[in-house]
Structure 1
Amino acid sequence: MTRLKKYIFRMCYMTVRFLPESCYSIRWIGILSKRIRVFFASRFLAKCGKNVNIETRSIFGFQVEIGDYSGIGVRAKLIGPVIIGKYVNMGPDVLIHTRNHKTDDPTIIMQKQGFDVVKPVTIEDDVWIGERVIILPGVTIGQGSVIGAGAVVAKSIPPYSVAVGNPARVVKSRLKENTIIGDAQSE
């Protein structure tokens, strides 16, 4: 597909992204809204799997890949190259960034220092990302992990982990029941 067509489909998506969310009270309106958003988004995303859910008012660009049966949450904002695996659930208001402003030189105004290099974010298969999670550049969230609501993920998370807090830290492994990591207490 030509670059111009991708821009046109993204512009169309930006107008339909305000349609009601997929769980709207009148079921057929929610289903239709979801299908319309996915129709336009799938035509400009780097990759779009099958049975994807893209919720209302989410914003993302051309460099996002989303796997089968995954979703982008309500009002989510994905900036830069983001790879989302299969069966990923994403809560509302998730922010994913792939680059930061430079702040290295105190003799230069921060606005004039530019940006760091882009560091892609990877979310592996079967991950659940809670509401209002912030994921920072270069992070990989391992397969089967759960990221608790409000977490700020600044470092990669190993597979099958439960991570919470700011900064996010692993508090539990999902591989063995009642495994405790760090100073978290069992339930």
Structure 2
Amino acid sequence: MRIEPGHPSRAGAVVARALEAVGHAAGHAGWVVSGYAQADRFGARGRNFVFDPAGTYTHRTIFVGNNVNLGVRPTLMATRAEIHIGNNVVFGPGVTVRGGNHRFDVVGEFIVNVDDSMKRDSDDRGVRIEDDVWVGGGATILHGVVISRGCVVGAGAVVSRSVPPYSVVAGNPARPVRGRFTLTQALAHERALYPLAQRLGAHDLAHLAD
């Protein structure tokens, strides 16, 4: 609730601002309490995990690494498969990640009545988002997709196919528009951030131009 200070009374304006501040604090407190209540329901979560309690989650099927921010009001849903998110990942507002799909080809059933018991394995293939990824606001990532290390997904993109490392993708359906780095830059980035055993090599990044 917002209370607008009245012009005639300075004292009234001060009181109104104080009441407004209390209202905001109470709302924030509720947001924090809701967040704490939800946090341990995720399948796994790492350090420095930021998420909006007002988002939509199938908590037990979502596994999140360290230093992850899921942005404002995301939707992450997977009823029979899993969503795995690596380390150092950030979402813009309103991102959707769907680890499954609805069947619409069941003869003799209305679509609304088709439930998980009628699904095939191919209907729920999960999603994996690897380390160092930025997903732009309003993007949608569909089941079966791997967003590889270092990728950028453009705002509003609909990603239905897996994306190779350090790619920038955009559009519907999403397609690579360029590399985030040149090959030389990507190799230097790998050396700076990852131990030898975890680094991607030139053969993993052959799609990047120099």
Return the TM-score normalized by structure 1: 0.71
Q: 2:179 is matched with which residue?
A: 173
Query: Do the aligned partners of residues 94 and 116 (structure 1) sit closer, same or farther apart at CA in structure 2, a change above 3 Å counting?
Result: farther
- Deviations along 1:150-170, one digit per CA (max 9) or x if unpaired, are 000000011100000000000
1:47 maps to 2:44: yes
Partner of 1:47, secondary structure, is coil
Q: Which amino acid aligns with 1:70?
A: V
Greater Rg over alpha carbons, structure: 2
**Structure (1/2) with the larger helix percentage:** 2
Question: Structure 1 residue aligned with 2:67, among 66, 69, 74?
Answer: 69
Partner of 1:40, secondary structure, is helix
Conserved? CA contact 1:141–1:157, under 8 Å: yes
Q: 2:167 is matched with which residue?
A: 161
- Deviations along 1:14-69, one digit per CA (max 9) or x if unpaired, are xxxxxxxxxxx9xxx69967754543233111111001111251111211011111
Conserved? CA contact 1:38–1:52, under 8 Å: no
Conserved? CA contact 2:55–2:74, under 8 Å: yes
Question: How far off its partner does 1:99 sit?
Answer: 1.5
Query: Do the aligned partners of residues 174 and 33 (structure 1) sit closer, same or farther apart at CA in structure 2, a change above 3 Å counting?
Result: farther
Query: Do the aligned partners of residues 71 and 32 (structure 1) sit closer, same or farther apart at CA in structure 2, a change above 3 Å counting?
Result: farther
Residues in 1 aligned to 2:177 and 2:95: alpha-carbon distance in whole angstroms: 21
Structure 1, unaligned runs of 5 or more: 1-24, 178-187
- Deviations along 1:76-134, one digit per CA (max 9) or x if unpaired, are 000012111111000111111111122346x5455155444311100000100000001
Q: 1:136 is matched with which residue?
A: 142
Query: Do the aligned partners of residues 143 and 31 (structure 1) sit closer, same or farther apart at CA in structure 2, a change above 3 Å counting?
Result: farther
Report the identity percentage: 34
Structure 2, unaligned runs of 5 or more: 1-20, 184-210
Return the TM-score normalized by structure 2: 0.63
Partner of 1:163, secondary structure, is strand
Q: Which amino acid aligns with 2:103?
A: K
Conserved? CA contact 2:153–2:169, under 8 Å: yes
Residues in 2 aligned to 1:83 and 1:99: alpha-carbon distance in whole angstroms: 13
CA RMSD of aligned residues (A): 2.7
Residues in 2 aligned to 1:41 and 1:168: alpha-carbon distance in whole angstroms: 32
Query: Do the aligned partners of residues 96 and 44 (structure 1) sit closer, same or farther apart at CA in structure 2, a change above 3 Å counting?
Result: same
Following TM superposition, where does structure 1 have runs of at least 4 consecutive aligned residues deviating by more than 6 angstroms?
30-34
Query: Do the aligned partners of residues 133 and 95 (structure 1) sit closer, same or farther apart at CA in structure 2, a change above 3 Å counting?
Result: same
Worse-matched range after superposition: 35-44 or 153-162: 35-44
Query: Do the aligned partners of residues 132 and 121 (structure 1) sit closer, same or farther apart at CA in structure 2, a change above 3 Å counting?
Result: same
Paired positions, count: 151
Partner of 1:49, secondary structure, is coil
